[in-house]
Amino acid sequence: MKKVYLIAFILALLAGFLLYQYMLALEDRYRENYTSVVVAAVNIEENTQISADMIRIEEIPAEGVHPSAAVDSKSILGGIASQTIYEGEQILRTKVKQTREREGKMSYSVPEGMRALTIPVDTVSGVSGFLRAMDRVDIILIGLLEVGDQKKEIADVLVEDVEILAVGTNPDSRKESYVPPEPVSVITLIVSPQDAVKLSLGGATGRLMAVLRSPVDHEKPGVTSIMNNELWQ
């Protein structure tokens, strides 16, 4: 009798092992036929920055995966929806623009909380045409200041270490291969809202000059303003 029980026990173990192997094979076959994709966990409105709570990863049949579907959440997080994406919809890479993307709408290149402002330049105020997108500059205002009953010319640094978003009126100016036509009449800067106000008023009351900076120099030394009668002191 004990021998019968032993044989039954061994057969049960063998059956369990074979069932386990069969289930593993089914799981592998399942995984082969399914693909992980990024889908919207909520409705994502156009021009909304995508955060982790807006998306989830789902396993779906491979034949149902869109060719442009994102399979990695890292490629989506922080991007901006270029059109509305509905809950449960596969998130397509073509529907998400990165904030620093060089092509497409210029607005996607403006960091959150910042503004794009265009100012006029010429050969002299525009550093002889050597300015390029993504260069960094200081902007100096030259204007007239009333001192008593006199008007004196004054130069002052309005903003320091700001990035050039575009040169001229061509959005392709952010491409590294782009060579602007000569002469360039405007440059577009990335500035804070407060600096946008300062530059707008400065441009309306005086002349703005761009000063090119080294790409590794981000110091703001706090240069003081100077009047024309102080040049020879």
Helix (H) or strand (E) holding 44: none
Residue 30 has pLDDT above 70, yes or no: no
- Model pLDDT, residue 137: 93
34-97 belongs to CATH 3.30.360.10: no
Task: Give the DSSP letter string of 34-53.
Answer: EEEEEEESS-B-TTPBP-GG
pLDDT mean over 55-83 = 87
Q: What's 126's DSSP letter? A: T
Enter the tokens of residue 188.
Answer: 């577009």
Q: What tens digit of pLDDT does each residue of 12-24 get?
A: 777 777 777 767 7
Q: What is the pLDDT confidence band of residue 102, given thresholds at 50, 70 and 90?
A: very low
Place of tokens 């120099």: 217
pTM across the whole model: 0.59
Q: What tens digit of pLDDT does each residue of 197-210 get?
A: 999 999 998 999 99
3-state percent helix, strand, coil for the chain, nearest multiple of 5: 30, 30, 40
Encoded amino acid at 40, one letter: A
User: Who wins on pLDDT, 136 or 183?
Assistant: 136
140 contacts 156 by C-beta, under 8 angstroms:
yes
> Hey, where are the domains in the chain?
34-97, 111-230
- Model pLDDT, residue 188: 93
Residue 83 has pLDDT above 80, yes or no: yes
> β-strand 150-167 against 226-227: which pairing, if any?
antiparallel
Helix (H) or strand (E) holding 205: helix 193-205
Q: What tens digit of pLDDT does each residue of 119-139 get?
A: 988 777 677 778 888 899 999
